[in-house]
Amino acid sequence: MFKLLKTEGKARRGDFKTVHGTIQTPVFMNVGTAAAIKGGLDSFDLKEIGCQVELSNTYHLHLRPGDKVVKSLGGLHKFMNWDRPILTDSGGFQVFSLSKLRKIKEEGVYFQSHIDGHHIFMGPEESMQIQSNLASTIAMAFDECVENPCEKDYAKASSQMTVRWLKRCKAEMERLNSLDDTINKKQMLFAINQGSTYADLRIENMKQIADLDLDGYAIGGLAVGEPAEVMYSIIEAVEPFAPVNKPRYLMGVGTPENIIEAVYRGVDFFDCVMPSRNARHGTLFTSIGMVNINNAKYETDDSPLDPNCNCHTCRNFSKGYLRHLFKANEILALRLAVIHNLSFYNKLAADIRCALDNGCFEDFRKENIGKLSQRI
Amino acid sequence: MFKLLKTEGKARRGDFKTVHGTIQTPVFMNVGTAAAIKGGLDSFDLKEIGCQVELSNTYHLHLRPGDKVVKSLGGLHKFMNWDRPILTDSGGFQVFSLSKLRKIKEEGVYFQSHIDGHHIFMGPEESMQIQSNLASTIAMAFDECVENPCEKDYAKASSQMTVRWLKRCKAEMERLNSLDDTINKKQMLFAINQGSTYADLRIENMKQIADLDLDGYAIGGLAVGEPAEVMYSIIEAVEPFAPVNKPRYLMGVGTPENIIEAVYRGVDFFDCVMPSRNARHGTLFTSIGMVNINNAKYETDDSPLDPNCNCHTCRNFSKGYLRHLFKANEILALRLAVIHNLSFYNKLAADIRCALDNGCFEDFRKENIGKLSQRI
Span A90-103, pLDDT tens digits: 988 888 888 777 89
Q: Does any domain span residue A373? A: no
Is the minimum CB–CB distance between B241 and chain A shorter than 8 Å? no
Asked if residue B322 and residue B259 are part of one domain, the reply reads no
Please name the helix (run of DSSP H) or strand (run of DSSP E) that holds residue A359, with its range, or none. Answer: none
Q: What is the pLDDT of residues A298-355, one digit of tens each?
A: 999 999 999 999 999 999 999 999 999 999 999 999 999 999 999 999 999 999 999 9
Is the minimum CB–CB distance between A115 and chain B shorter than 8 Å? no
Query: Dmax of chain B from CA atoms?
Result: 61
Q: Does any domain span residue B234? A: yes
The last residue of one of the domains, among A222, A240, A272, is A272
Q: In chain B, which residues have pLDDT < 70?
A: none
What confidence score (pLDDT) does residue B128 get? 98
Asked if residue B157 and residue B92 are part of one domain, the reply reads yes
> Which residues on chain B are in Cβ contact (under 8 Å) with A73?
300, 302, 318, 320-321
Nearest to A80 among B39, B60, B321 (CB): B321
* A315-A316-A319-A322 Cα dihedral, nearest 10 degrees: -130
Interhelix angle B256-264/B361-368, nearest 10 degrees: 150
Identify which has the larger pLDDT, B83 or A225.
B83
Q: What angle do CA A14, A20, A25 make, to 5 degrees?
A: 15
Asked if residue B284 and residue B217 are part of one domain, the reply reads no
Q: Count the domains in chain B.
A: 2
Q: What is the pLDDT of residues A180-206, one digit of tens each?
A: 999 999 999 999 999 999 999 999 999
What confidence score (pLDDT) does residue B330 get? 98
Q: Is A268 a catalytic residue?
A: no
Asked if residue B95 and residue B185 are part of one domain, the reply reads yes
Cβ separation A65–B299 shorter than 8 A = yes
Cβ separation B300–A69 shorter than 8 A = yes
The last residue of one of the domains, among B233, B248, B272, is B272
> Which residues on chain B are in Cβ contact (under 8 Å) with A330?
34, 36, 38, 40
With a CB-CB cutoff of 8 Å, which residues 309-368 of chain B face chain A?
A: 312, 316-318, 320-321, 323-325, 327-328, 330-336
Q: What is the 3-state secondary structure (H, E, C) of chain B?
A: CEEEEEEECCEEEEEEEECCEEEEECEEEEECCCCCECCCECHHHHHHCCCCCEEEEHHHHHHCCCHHHHHHCCCHHHHHCCCCCEEEECCHHHHHHCCEEEEEECCEEEEECCCCCCEEEECHHHHHHHHHHHCCCEEECCCCCCCCCCCHHHHHHHHHHHHHHHHHHHHHHHHHHCCCCCCCCCCEEEEEECCCCCHHHHHHHHHHHHHCCCCEEEECCCCCCCCHHHHHHHHHHHHHHCCCCCCEEECCCCCHHHHHHHHHCCCCEEECCHHHHHHHCCEEEECCEEEECCCHHHCCCCCCCCCCCCCHHHHHCCHHHHHHHHHCCCHHHHHHHHHHHHHHHHHHHHHHHHHHHCCCHHHHHHHHCCCCCCEC
Cβ-contact A317, A326 below 8 angstroms? no
**Interface probe, candidates A42, A82, A98, A325, chain B, greatest B C-beta count within 10 A:** A42
Asked if residue B292 and residue B158 are part of one domain, the reply reads no
Asked if residue A25 and residue A84 are part of one domain, the reply reads yes
Asked if residue B253 and residue B293 are part of one domain, the reply reads no
The last residue of one of the domains, among A241, A272, A303, is A272
Asked if residue A293 and residue A184 are part of one domain, the reply reads no
Asked if residue A267 and residue A141 are part of one domain, the reply reads yes
What confidence score (pLDDT) does residue A370 get? 86
Q: Does any domain span residue A181? A: yes
Q: What average pLDDT does this structure show over A359-376?
A: 93
Q: Whole-model pTM?
A: 0.97
Cβ separation B40–A37 shorter than 8 A = no
Asked if residue B312 and residue B193 are part of one domain, the reply reads no
Q: Does any domain span residue B12? A: yes
Q: Does any domain span residue B374? A: no
What confidence score (pLDDT) does residue A224 get? 85
Which residues of B does the annotation mark as catalytic? 89, 271
Asked if residue A247 and residue A123 are part of one domain, the reply reads yes
What confidence score (pLDDT) does residue A353 get? 98
**Is residue A172 over pLDDT 90?**
yes
Is the minimum CB–CB distance between B302 and chain A shorter than 8 Å? yes
Q: Does any domain span residue A376? A: no
Q: What is the pLDDT of residues B75-106, one digit of tens each?
A: 999 999 999 999 999 988 888 888 777 899 99
Where in the sequence is the domain holding A349, given as residue range(s)?
Answer: 279-368
Cβ separation A332–B74 shorter than 8 A = no
Q: Residue B210 is part of a domain; what is its CATH number?
A: 3.20.20.105
Q: Does any domain span residue A10? A: yes
**Interface probe, candidates B42, B57, B82, B311, chain A, greatest A C-beta count within 10 A:** B42
What confidence score (pLDDT) does residue A240 get? 98
Q: Does any domain span residue A6? A: yes
> Which residues on chain A are in Cβ contact (under 8 Å) with B318?
73, 79
Asked if residue B303 and residue B266 are part of one domain, the reply reads no
